[in-house]
Structure 1
């Protein structure tokens, strides 16, 4: 399986997944396109001195990305990745999930499970607190992307702006989930995970994975009213899967 050693290799491998997804009309490329945009921003932030410790941030980014790459290639080989990633990938093979759900399923697996592990892997119990400032800088990056994510989603379904008045702004959905809830949880998990002896870590990852997979089930089936609204949105989403991926690639 492919493993990245630098942030440029991360982008290269994400590019490959996106192009394959376009060719195969696979919804896997939806989250991957968003993730690549975040990776661009982190790469540029490192280059521009946004982070206190750029080399550590690149190391974290690479470890973080390799967990996604591992899950993706395992799934492609009919091997079993983490349960939350398996659930996310399985949902890309059916018609009903809307683009927002695909994005949230990817965010759920990658942030709630992978980010805490990656943060712990570049830290020790003694120095993990020095990572907090750079960890929080990613919140700023995500905030800057939210408005453009909303623009991309309204291109896919122009009437979404009307529905959002009922369901709540998409920026609230994305910010609340990916930043406030998931990222706070990821930081808490990182602090717990870094303190564990190596022989306990795999069992802890598996326990965490079970919990995060349950969150994925809630994203996939958020109750009768919201699910009904999502199905209505899905029936009128515009474009092929590859076109939707292109809309997300246009985020800046």
Structure 2
């Protein structure tokens, strides 16, 4: 794997953290459902880095690690009895709710991580690398494509059964209301806006807070308890 500057942690480090969570959390825990999904994504990124699938490994690692660190920081905040970002609160609040299905937990976590964390991670990585968002666009797209293929697998693995095909099933409507592709497009626009606003601290902070709140609202809708 490509060597990095000392101030960029390795992908191995975040993978180890997620593996430890995967081993320690109860299987039905909503955070565990998302963590298992995200661990699979990060392991695949690591495999592709090892086989030279990224044109700029240093940029890809910086983006992947800064991205993962935002999720792990939310986990740490809850463990320390601190409030996580608004985008993550619904998942942690509803993680044990018996009326929320595993697919909802997975998509709520992806919503929080893509809709909020990824935009901030692009800015974090640009500051780490001393580059512009446009310099990370290829890596952003490759990670996004990987997430897209994984989302398809998630839907297949966590579908509750044939009843999902019935138009009256409430989960059908929830799934139709959220799109990873739309979330990716919005995230890239948000990252570019945040980078442009980096010299206006107050405005950037307000933009980030509103983004966090909006993504959290969407996550709360995705976690609406459903009848069996």
| Alignment TM-score, normalising by the size of structure 1 | 0.76
Q: Classify 1:142/1:164 alpha carbon distance in 2 versus 1 (closer, same or farther; 3 Å).
A: farther
Aligned residue number for residue 138 of structure 1: 143
In the alignment, structure 2 segments of 5+ residues that lack a partner are 1-7
Aligned residue among 114, 132, 146 for 1:127: 132
Name the SS of the counterpart of 1:33 in structure 2. Answer: helix
Alignment pair present for 1:19 and 2:20: no
Aligned residue number for residue 187 of structure 2: 186
8 Å contact from structure 1 (residues 115, 186) kept in 2: yes
2:112 and 2:147 map into 1 onto residues whose CA distance is: 16
Name the SS of the counterpart of 1:115 in structure 2. Answer: helix
Aligned residue number for residue 107 of structure 2: 104
2:69 and 2:212 map into 1 onto residues whose CA distance is: 17
Q: Classify 1:140/1:192 alpha carbon distance in 2 versus 1 (closer, same or farther; 3 Å).
A: same
8 Å contact from structure 1 (residues 11, 39) kept in 2: yes
Counterparts of 1:1-252 in structure 2, within 5 Å, are: 5-22=9-26, 26-123=29-126, 127-154=132-159, 157=160, 160-166=161-167, 173=175, 177-178=179-180, 180-197=181-198, 199-200=201-202, 201-221=204-224, 230-232=226-228
Q: Classify 1:150/1:87 alpha carbon distance in 2 versus 1 (closer, same or farther; 3 Å).
A: closer
2:125 and 2:57 map into 1 onto residues whose CA distance is: 12
8 Å contact from structure 2 (residues 33, 106) kept in 1: yes
Q: Which moved more, 1:138-147 or 1:103-112?
A: 138-147
Root-mean-square deviation (Å)? 2.8
| Alignment TM-score, normalising by the size of structure 2 | 0.83
Q: Classify 1:186/1:147 alpha carbon distance in 2 versus 1 (closer, same or farther; 3 Å).
A: closer
Matched residues, number:
215
Cα offset for 1:181? Answer: 1.4
Cα offset for 1:147? Answer: 4.5
In the alignment, structure 1 segments of 5+ residues that lack a partner are 222-226, 233-252
8 Å contact from structure 2 (residues 15, 39) kept in 1: yes
2:35 and 2:44 map into 1 onto residues whose CA distance is: 14
Question: Higher helix proportion, which one?
Answer: 1
8 Å contact from structure 1 (residues 105, 219) kept in 2: yes
8 Å contact from structure 1 (residues 121, 194) kept in 2: no
1:126 and 1:77 map into 2 onto residues whose CA distance is: 34
